[in-house]
A and B are shown apart, each in its own frame.
Chain A
Amino acid sequence: MTLYPPCLPPARSLPFSIPCVRHMLAACLAVTLLISAPPTLAGSRILATGAVTAIEGAAGGGLSPWAVLSSTASDQEIGVTAAATRAWVDDYRLTMTGASMNIYDRVELSVARQTLDLETLGGELGQDIYAAKVRLFGDVLYHPWGIWSVGLQHKRLVDGAIPTALGADKTRGNDVYLSASKLLFSAVAGRNVLLNATLRNTDANQGGLLGFGGDQGNRSWVAEGSVGVFITPRWIVGAEYRQKPDNLSAAEEDDWQSLYSAYFFNKHLSLTGAWLDLGDIAGLPSQHGGYLSLQAAF
């Protein structure tokens, strides 16, 4: 790749515009710094116990929040995490950027911006998610019952026109959830297995991107869960399932599921890839695709 003087306008024939080259260089630099950053900057919890950033900004898998709190901050530390995620399915593209703060491994505060590009239908939907998670008790490694947390996610649509037209009652909503996570040491072929279960009360349609409530129902309890195997202490492979409400007769909704793989380069940097099956979304059937998420933590 050739570098061009930044003062010149990009020629038509260039494969990348100059701002794009700059972004790529900045990204490469950031990744290099993160990989070589000294571990003393990280929290003291064991590698990977902060999980990755789920699509709603909380520490979790890809689709569902888990009970663990983000970063590796422990009882006397504060940790900050940022993540960028993109998911591609047949007719949509979801982008999420989010950040979270772990305060003394007791409270996790997070913000996330989701943008759903309606590649087939045209237009886009967006929402902001402000969330908090509180650890009730326990520890994912050391407590016989694992770790238990409750969380609240406040979601606000950027523009409620399309969801309202589809029959959604509201453009804002709150999800509350109870989540439990537990690592089983040496459970399968000497490998550690991570179990997560989340019970959520929600009226969000497609996680909130299609508004809240509708002609077919309102708040309901849904179950979410995941199973993952740590092939090595740095690399977990697993599956996730998220039950969903089905409130809109005009846009039927399916449960979500994924097969995921997350690699922790160190306590600062992780990369998650997944294969998604999101079912029908806003009238377009059987949405399958890929998912990539990069997370940085301090």
Chain B
Amino acid sequence: MAGIFHFRQLFKRDTMSYQRQHTSKQRALIALIFAAVAFSLAGCAHQAPSAPLYERLGGQASINAVVENLLYRIADDPDVVVFFANTNIDLFAESLASQLCDVSGGPCRYEGPPMDRAHQHMGLTDVHFNRVVEHLDAAMQEEGITLGARNELLGRLAPMYSDIMRLQ
């Protein structure tokens, strides 16, 4: 951004005070620089990270620890735990761990039900969805996962929102 300010300062020195400071061409240039910065930042999103996400999460042992930590948080949350009343927690933990392994590029294949079927007619709202996101992020933080890996995993899970909420 410094370039824009510098550009403006240069231009100001050359103008009399009663003249227009920015012609439409210069405004367009400033807007273009701004857009270029925005889109180059957006482009970075598609660069391959240095190590696969699965490894940066700490592999299967660490993913299992995150899942266990998450389940303790859910068990302590009366707003969320009601949805697990008829759930076999051991099977659920195993299924979620294999899904996180799969999503993060690890050597697993998630073979559970699709996300819309898995959550259908549960009556989930954004309140529940957001709460589980917060629990998951807190669990990852407590298990020592770096901010970059946390953000990337959350980014890979975020598009599941539409599937999970489709059949409510």
By a beta-carbon cutoff of 8 Å, the part of chain A in contact with chain B is 44-46, 74-77, 105, 139, 141-144, 184-193, 195, 223, 225, 227, 229, 232-233, 239, 241, 243, 246, 252, 254-255, 257, 259, 277, 279-280, 285-286
Contacts and interface: CB of A to CB of B under 8 A. Distances in A.
B42 interface: yes
Contact of A286 (B12, B20, B159, B162): B12
Contacts of B146: 190
A29 B66 CA distance: 38
A186 B152 contact: yes
B22 A254 contact: yes
Interface stretch (B86-94, B105-113, B114-122, B129-137): B129-137
Interface of B: 1, 4-5, 8, 12, 17, 20-22, 27, 30-31, 34-35, 37-38, 41-42, 44-45, 49, 125-127, 130-131, 133-134, 137, 146-149, 151-152, 154-156, 158-159, 161-162
B5 A188 contact: no
Contacts of A187: 41-42, 44-45
B125 A185 contact: no
Contacts, number: 115
Given A143-B162, A190-B146, A254 B21 contact: yes
A192 B41 CA distance: 10
A11 to B, nearest CB: 47
A44 B130 contact: yes
B155 A259 contact: no
15 contacts: A75-B127, A142-B161, A185-B156, A190-B149, A191-B148, A193-B45, A195-B41, A225-B34, A229-B41, A239-B34, A246-B20, A254-B21, A255-B22, A257-B1, A285-B17
A52 B159 CA distance: 25
B21 A279 contact: yes
**Which 8 residue pairs are nearest across A and B when measured between Cβ atoms?**
A190-B148, A185-B155, A142-B161, A74-B126, A186-B152, A186-B151, A187-B45, A44-B127
Contacts of B20: 246, 252
Contacts of A142: 158-159, 161-162
Nearest to B18: A252
Q: Could you say which of A139, A189, A190, A277 has the most chain B C-beta atoms within 10 Å of its C-beta? A: A190
Contact of A46 (B8, B37, B133, B149): B133
B5 A277 contact: yes
A60 B161 CA distance: 24
A77 to B, nearest CB: 7
A188 B41 contact: yes
B45 A195 contact: no
B5 A191 contact: no
Given A44-B126, A239-B1, A241-B30, A190 B147 contact: yes
Contact of B125 (A75, A141, A257, A279): A75
Contacts of A259: 1
Given A190-B151, A191-B147, A239-B1, A144 B45 contact: no
